[in-house]
Each structure stands twice: as structure tokens, then as C-alpha cells.
Amino acid sequence: MANEPLTRGERTRQDLMEAAYRLFIEQGYHGTSMRQIAEEAELALGGIYNHFSAKEALFVTILDAYHPYHDILPALNEAPGETIEAFVHAAADRMVSALEDRPGFFNLIFIEIVEFEGRHLPTIFNQAVPQLEALLQRFQQTPGALRPLPLPVLLRAFVGLFFSYTLTEVLMAGSFPPDYQEDALEGLLDIFLHGILPSTGHA
Amino acid sequence: MANEPLTRGERTRQDLMEAAYRLFIEQGYHGTSMRQIAEEAELALGGIYNHFSAKEALFVTILDAYHPYHDILPALNEAPGETIEAFVHAAADRMVSALEDRPGFFNLIFIEIVEFEGRHLPTIFNQAVPQLEALLQRFQQTPGALRPLPLPVLLRAFVGLFFSYTLTEVLMAGSFPPDYQEDALEGLLDIFLHGILPSTGHA
DNA sequence: CCTACCGATCGGTAGG
DNA sequence: CCTACCGATCGGTAGG
């Protein structure tokens, strides 16, 4: 959070990116016009092209700067927890906080999948590999035995937990009695933990 | 599959819907033009408006006709299986087949979430409630004990399994050694089953 | 960084 | 169901 002074140009670039981010996740890529972005950033249309060569270049920059890996993976890796259970709960708490801060968190990924057919994902993912590996190490090194599971599967199950939570929430929102879904995330975590820990002794 | 003869108008409407479906899931809503749809359906632009009053009405009709609940939920409900384990595996197989038949299956949902802010989802979901309830009954009635879990959580974990599988596949595609992700779905299922079944006696 | 403009394309309609 | 058209808006650029 060290706010080094930004040059005028850097400031404008920041404003543009924030404006574009907000508009993209609300309206999609093709649903957002360069004029809307200019207006939201309080800039004339032509001014955008001093900072970004084209609309797609702007999107790619945003995808790169705002995708979930940047915020979420470090938050997960820094979660405390001396047992697997404690760690998973702490990590989930952090994930939920991050998700609440930015309700449109996954939208960027959905836009990329639908409107760009996932073209830019491999690059993004490769940046995240070190963080993902650290996360795996954390699972392995934290005391408390795990069932013998392939590590990528463990990782996919864990990450997928939050896709499951978020998407089923959106899909089923307001259609189940509210008291029924109060602790849905805890329930999902419970299934996950029970699923990855050895049977013995676990409730 | 009973192909009753369609009137000329019904045939055209069908063609339009199929063309629009293909284009929407490939390019998104705002990324697809009415002219593209007309061309793909081999119709003049103006002809579309004999069948649909506006572009959004066309999308809503498509969302209603092609969303996953129509194909997938009945397929799940009809899956065989005399134990929970057998049922979950059979249901997962059917889900995977459905997903492979239509790789853009979830895209419709993503478009709805991003480009319409989920506006049309409640209606859709309400149609699916009976099917979802049948699925829950199936879980409850199939022999083989379950851990005490809230039913909506069980349902969300099960449905979420396929979001997890599909999305983590897309996100991590080609970045893990291929042999590592061969049986990812089986691994996820294993965690899920282990997570919902009582500890005793289960591997 | 803005003004003023480009050609192309958009969703939708009138009229037959 | 098509032809021909509407006004509006699109991404992008020249020129200063």
C-alpha cells in the first residue's frame, strides 16, 4: 500500500484501468464502450489511446492486473493455521473476505472465457504457478495427515470450493429458505475437509 | 426425439434459436449481432423480428430453452445406482457426457451473470426446483447412510463439483503435466464421496 | 490530452 | 419473409 507519488500520466493510466475494470465486470467486454470508459475516467475518448493501443490491449492489461490470483493466492498462502483443518478454515475466511470486497471477482474470468474463448488464460496461469505450488507445499507440510490424493486434485478441489460456493449462490439465490443457506460455506468446507482427511477420529 | 413435422414458421424459429445459441456461447451476447444470427440461420435480418421482438427476447428464449437444467437434471435423476456411491458415479458420468456434447454448456450461464447481471436467473431456477427436489429425494432414499448434512449444502456440493471440474480444467489447462490431471474428475468425486459418507468402513 | 472526424456496424422498422 | 432504410453508436485516428 506504499503510495509513491504518481506522475500525472501514471495517475491517468490508473484511473483508466479502474474505470475499465468497473465497467467490464458490470457489462462485459463488448457491452462496454471506449466512450463509457473515457467518461468514467474523466478523459476524452482520444486520450485513452495515449495509454492503450486498443480496446483489447486495455482488457488484457486489466485481466493481468486484476485477476483473482494476485489478491487471493497470496492471501491464502499467508493464512495462519497449525493443522490442515485450521488452515483450510482460515484460508476460506480470507477467500470469502476477498470475494465480498469484490463481488465481481470471477466476472473477469467469465468474460475471458466467453468473449475471448480463454485465449489469454495460459499466460495468466503461468504467473500463478509459483503461488499455487506454495499452496500445495503448505498443504503437504502442515501437520495432520492427508488421505493419499494427487496434489493437483487436492488443489482443484480447494479452488473449486469457491467456484461452487459463489456460483451455486448466484444460481439458487433467493430460492431456498434463507435459513437453509446461512452456513453453506461451512457446510461445503465440512464436506471438503471430511473428504481429504483420513477417516479415523474425524467427526 | 419424436420429430413431429414442423410448420415452416416453426422450422425457421428453430433454426434461429440454434444459430443464436451457437453464436452467443461463442461470442457472448453483445459480441453477437443480429445480422450474424440472421446469416447463420439463412434468413434476412428483418425476418428475425417475425419470431422475436428484440435481441434480448431472443436471448431469454434461448436461456430458457438451452440452460443446463433441461438436459442435465433429468439425466442425473435417471442415473442408475443402488448405493450412493454407485449413484454419484453414474450421475457424474452422465454429467460429463452432457458436458462433452456441449463444451459451451456453462457459457450461457456466464453470459447471463456478466452481461445481464443474473436478472433472468430466478425464473429459470424456479423451473428447476422440482427436478432439484427429486435429486435430493434420490440422495435421501438411496440405500447407504449419509453424514448429517443440510440438504441444500449436499446439493450445492454436488452441483458445484462440476463447476469445479470444468472451471479448474479451463483455468489450469495445459499447465499441469497431462498425466497429473487424467483422472481429475474421479479424484474430485472421491473427495466428495468421502466427504458425504460416514467415516466407518469407507476407504 | 482534446476536438473533430472517419468508415463501419449496430438494433430495429416501414412497407410491401 | 425480404429490401431498403433509420438514427445512433461503435473503435479508432489525424492533427494540433
Instruction: Name the average pLDDT for chain A.
Output: 89
The predicted structure's pLDDT at residue B202: 44
Residue B43: which nucleotide is closest by CA–C1'? Answer: D1
* Alpha helices (H) along chain B: 8-27, 34-40, 45-48, 55-66, 68-77, 84-101, 107-115, 121-141, 151-172, 178-181, 184-196
CA triplet B172, B99, B66: central angle to 5 degrees?
Answer: 125
Res B79 pLDDT > 50:
yes
Task: Report the 10 Å Cβ neighbour count for B58.
Answer: 23
Residue A127 predicted with pLDDT over 60: yes
Please report, to the nearest 10 degrees, the dihedral formed by the alpha carbons of residues A91, A92, A93, A94 taken in order.
Answer: 50
Which of A69, A43, A71 has the alpha carbon at shortest distance from A58?
A43
Mean predicted lDDT score pLDDT of chain B? 89
Q: Which residue is nearest to nucleotide C10 (CA to C1')?
A: B33
Q: Tell me whether B110 touches chain A (CB under 8 Å).
A: yes
Which of A90-104, B36-50, B76-90, B102-116 has the largest mean confidence? Answer: B36-50
pLDDT of amino acid A202: 44
Scanning residues 45 through 104 of protein chain B, those with a beta carbon under 7 Å from any atom of strand C turn out to be: 45-46, 49, 53-56
* Predicted local confidence at residue B49, as pLDDT: 97
Residue B176's pLDDT is what?
66
Res A2 pLDDT > 60: no
DSSP state of B7: P
Q: Which residue has better confidence, A39 or B68?
A: A39
Check residues B157 and B70 and name the one with the higher pLDDT. Answer: B157
Q: What is the mean pLDDT of residues A112-121?
A: 95
Residue B70, pLDDT score:
83
Angstrom distances, CA of residue A123 to CA of A105, A129, B192: 19, 10, 31
Q: Please, what is the angle between helix A8-27 and helix A107-115, to 10°?
A: 80
d(CA B107, CA A185): 24
Q: Distance between alpha carbon A134 and the CA centroid of its chain, in Å?
A: 17
Residue A78 pLDDT greater than 80, yes or no: yes
Weakest-pLDDT range from A36-50, B41-55, B91-105: B91-105
CB contact under 8 A, B191 and A149: yes
| Residue B203, pLDDT score | 44
Backbone angles phi, psi at A68, to 5 degrees: -55, -30
**pLDDT, mean of residues B29-33:** 98
CA angle A46, A48, A52 (to 5 degrees): 130
Query: Residues B155-192: pLDDT tens digits?
Result: 999 999 999 999 998 888 766 666 666 689 999 999 99
Closest residue to C13 by CA to C1' distance?
Answer: B46
Q: Do residues B167 and B194 lie in contact, with contact meaning Cβ atoms separated by under 8 Å?
A: no
Query: Which residue of chain A comes nearest to B196, CA vs CA?
Result: A191
How long is the CA A101 to C1' D13 vector, in angstroms? 38
Number of CB atoms found within 10 A of residue B123's CB: 11
pLDDT at position A1 over 60: no
Over residues B117-131, mean pLDDT: 90
pLDDT of A203 reads 44
CB proximity A8–strand C (7 Å threshold): yes
What is the arithmetic mean of pLDDT over B84-92? 93
pLDDT in tens, A79-105: 998 999 999 999 999 988 888 887 788
Query: What is the model's pLDDT at position B114?
Result: 97
CA distance linking residue B128 with residue B109, whole number of Å: 14
pLDDT beyond 70 at A178:
no
pLDDT of B178 reads: 61
Phi, psi at B138, each rounded to 5°: -60, -45
Q: A14, A6 in Cβ contact below 8 A?
A: yes
Whether the Cβ atoms of residue A150 and residue B180 lie closer than 8 Å to each other: yes
- What is the spatial distance between Cα A197 and Cα B95, in angstroms, rounded to a whole number? 26
B109 to chain A, closest Cα gap in Å: 9
**pTM for the model:** 0.91
Do residue A149 and residue B187 have CB atoms under 8 angstroms apart?
A: yes
Q: Is the pLDDT of residue A22 over 70?
A: yes
Which residue stretches of chain A are H helix?
8-27, 34-40, 45-48, 55-66, 68-77, 84-101, 107-115, 121-141, 151-172, 178-181, 184-196
In the predicted model, what is the mean pLDDT of residues A41-51? 97
Beta carbons of A170 and B117 less than 8 Å apart: no
Radius of gyration of chain A (CA): 20
Cβ neighbours, 10 Å, residue A141: 7
